[in-house]
């Protein structure tokens, strides 16, 4: 009997190696001791040969793709869990037991082999000598999916896993890849967990900031109104060069504010708003094991500062929050150079060792050629202003010489290729949370029994407790003796669990669900 879908209306987030914000977020790598295990599950770093272009038989060029493997929990005949890397280096923290590693918990219960594969052009998986626009034409989701298919075929043959059931895991962009791997290669991928997966490509993702508004309002109805007042004041003050010294001081900028064009103005507004946008997206996301900073800066922090009248009017409260996040949470002495041209030059750098060579240039290219996802201020139902669609579209032209016509055509092709919201496949679970702004581009209502959606209303303060309770409750032996009505009670427990982050937390819940789901589908 198929486990019925959970449809919980309103608020949260999720991912797994997740980086899909409009600006790439650099993540610290683990030390060698942690990567080698250091008392935790041991894994190996390995490499596989991939074709540069899977769709051109005349092109014989190859490259080496990095992946991690742990056999710690594998039992003969068990399934294979495939964690898909995204727009950044794969993180060794996912291969060690920690609060975010629910997939290893269920690997242990099911005797699964665990693999984590790095996405082409990110991390150490470098198909070309540099990141020139000419070379980046080999960076696409279709090529990445073909990499996964070849990876699955080769590893299955090498390890005698041809008849094993492979389950793909991913969150955010890798969540979309997980779903699409099941869609495009159903003979290779048995099931998929597509957490916070933005399946619908769109140039103007104005809904993102609408969700930010609702997420802030859920904490305190006055909070988004105060943010809007602060931002309105900032937009007004930034028009007058006589205010630049004060703005520099108020926001603790590393150098004096310089605005020489409308793009400079849009860039600084975008960058300062990003402090709240990122806080909402990654609210209570349980990513400490990835060595990510800022995990304790939450929506509650934002609204607490914005409600503190002792700091002055809303403008000064917003400035205080930016300083707090920068110095206390991000551990940076000041807010970096905020000029459009400086950022443009960084993104034009084609070296893997460049300022954005870790993934920023690559992901920007993918947004300009496949996805869009531009988080604009074009909607009236959001707290910010000053960085509309034109600003984002022109960046594609300025960085890669990609025209608006080419951009829109690429987004249309993506939706045509994968089906957007109308994906048709089986055995894919779509967990989303209502605080996570990316749920607006995902599946939040079940399509069928075999394409269930989990939409979780978020309460950040109960997140960790709920996950731990569920993890302790859903054991292999327990599931094996559940009756149909008992399974509904487990469903209710998951429904009551509160998730409010973009990434780890909700994907952990999705593991609990997929464990039950796959069990009932005779894995």
Residue-range definition of the domain harbouring residue 315: 204-413
**148 and 219 belong to one structural domain:** no
How many domains are there within the chain? 2
Distances (CA, A) of 263 to 345, 352, 420: 14, 26, 31
Mean pLDDT of 353-368: 97
233 within some domain = yes
Looking at 413, 434, 453, the residue that finishes a domain is 413
Residues 36-42: contacts with CB under 8 Å, at least 24 apart: 37/96, 40/96, 40/97, 40/98, 41/70, 41/72, 41/73, 41/95, 41/96, 41/97, 41/104, 42/70, 42/72
- Residues 92 and 151 occupy one common structural domain: yes
Q: Which of 391, 413, 435 is the last residue of a domain?
A: 413
Beta-bridge partners for 335: 253
Within a domain: residue 23?
no
Q: 271-298 pLDDT, tens per residue?
A: 999 999 999 988 865 555 455 555 678 8
Q: Are residues 248 and 329 in the same domain?
A: yes
pLDDT at res. 283: 80
Contact 432, 196 (CB under 8 A): yes
Q: Are residues 286 and 353 in the same domain?
A: yes
**In this structure, are 430 and 348 located in the same domain?**
no
**Tokens read off for 83:** 């964690």
388 lies in the same domain as 460: no
Does some domain include residue 2? no
Let me know whether 471 and 325 are in one domain: no
- What pLDDT, on a 0 to 100 scale, did the predictor assign at position 522? 47
496 shares a domain with 381: no
Do 250 and 223 lie in a common domain? Answer: yes
Structural domain contains residue 20: no
Residue 47 phi, psi dihedral angles, 5° rounding: -135, 150
- Please indicate, yes or no, whether residues 126 and 184 belong to a single structural domain of this protein: yes
Q: Given 413, 443, 477, which residue is the final one in a domain?
A: 413
27 within some domain: no
7 lies in some domain: no
In this structure, the answer to whether residues 381 and 299 fall within a common structural domain is yes
Residue 142: inside a domain: yes
For residue 107, what is the domain's CATH number?
3.40.50.1820
The per-residue pLDDT for range 6-46, each reduced to its tens digit, is 222 222 233 334 444 444 333 333 333 334 444 455 789 99
* Residues whose CB falls within 8 Å of the CB of residue 302, separated by 6 or more in sequence, listed in order: 216, 219, 223, 227, 276, 279, 280, 321
pLDDT tens digits along 420-461: 999 999 999 998 888 889 999 999 999 998 899 888 876 322
- In this structure, are 248 and 163 located in the same domain? no
In a domain, 185, yes or no: yes
At 33 the pLDDT is 35
């Amino acid at each position: 009997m198929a486990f019925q879908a959970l449809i919980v209306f309103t608020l949260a987030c999720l991912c797994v190696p997740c980086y899909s914000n409009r600006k790439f977020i650099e993540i610290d790598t683990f030390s060698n001791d942690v990567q080698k295990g250091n008392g935790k599950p041991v894994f190996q770093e390995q490499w596989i040969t991939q074709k540069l272009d899977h769709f051109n038989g005349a092109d014989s060029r190859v490259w080496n793709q990095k992946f991690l493997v742990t056999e710690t929990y594998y039992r003969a005949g068990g399934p294979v869990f495939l964690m898909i890397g995204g727009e950044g280096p794969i993180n060794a923290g996912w291969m060690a037991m920690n609060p975010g590693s629910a997939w290893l918990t269920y690997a242990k219960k099911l005797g699964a082999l665990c693999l984590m594969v790095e996405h082409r052009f990110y991390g150490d998986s470098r198909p070309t000598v540099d990141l020139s626009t000419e070379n980046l034409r080999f960076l696409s989701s279709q090529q990445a999916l073909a990499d996964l298919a070849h990876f699955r075929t080769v590893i299955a043959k090498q390890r005698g896993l041809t008849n094993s059931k492979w389950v793909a895991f991913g969150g955010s962009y890798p969540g979309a890849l997980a779903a699409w791997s099941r869609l495009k290669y159903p003979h290779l991928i048995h099931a998929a967990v597509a957490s916070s997966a933005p399946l619908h490509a769109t140039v103007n993702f104005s809904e993102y900031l609408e969700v930010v508004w609702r997420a802030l309002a859920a904490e305190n109805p006055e909070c988004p109104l105060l943010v809007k007042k602060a931002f309105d004041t900032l937009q007004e003050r930034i028009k007058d060069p006589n205010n630049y010294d004060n703005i520099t001081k108020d926001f603790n900028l590393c150098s004096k504010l310089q605005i020489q064009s409308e793009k400079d103005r849009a860039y600084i507004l975008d960058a300062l708003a990003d402090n709240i946008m990122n806080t909402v997206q990654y609210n209570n996301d349980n990513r400490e094991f990835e060595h990510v900073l800022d995990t304790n800066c939450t929506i509650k922090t934002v609204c607490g500062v914005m409600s503190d009248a002792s700091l002055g009017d809303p403008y000064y409260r917003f400035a205080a929050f930016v300083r707090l996040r920068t110095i206390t949470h991000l551990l940076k002495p000041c807010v970096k150079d905020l000029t459009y041209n400086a950022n443009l030059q960084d993104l034009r750098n084609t070296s893997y060792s460049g300022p954005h060579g870790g993934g920023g240039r690559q992901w920007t290219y993918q947004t300009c050629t496949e996805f869009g996802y531009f988080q604009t201020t074009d909607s009236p139902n959001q707290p910010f202003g000053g960085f509309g669609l034109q600003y984002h579209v022109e960046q594609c032209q300025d960085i890669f010489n990609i025209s608006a016509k080419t951009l829109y055509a690429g987004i249309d092709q993506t939706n045509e290729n994968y089906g957007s919201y109308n994906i048709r496949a089986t055995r894919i679970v779509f967990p989303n949370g209502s605080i996570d702004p990316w749920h607006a581009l995902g599946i939040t209502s079940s399509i069928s029994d075999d394409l269930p959606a989990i939409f979780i209303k978020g309460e950040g303060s109960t997140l960790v407790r709920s996950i731990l309770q569920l993890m302790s409750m859903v054991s292999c032996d327990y599931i094996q003796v559940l009756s149909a009505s008992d399974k509904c009670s487990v469903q209710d427990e998951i429904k009551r669990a509160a998730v409010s982050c973009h990434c780890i937390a909700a994907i952990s819940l999705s593991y609990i669900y997929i464990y039950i789901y796959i069990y009932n589908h005779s894995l």
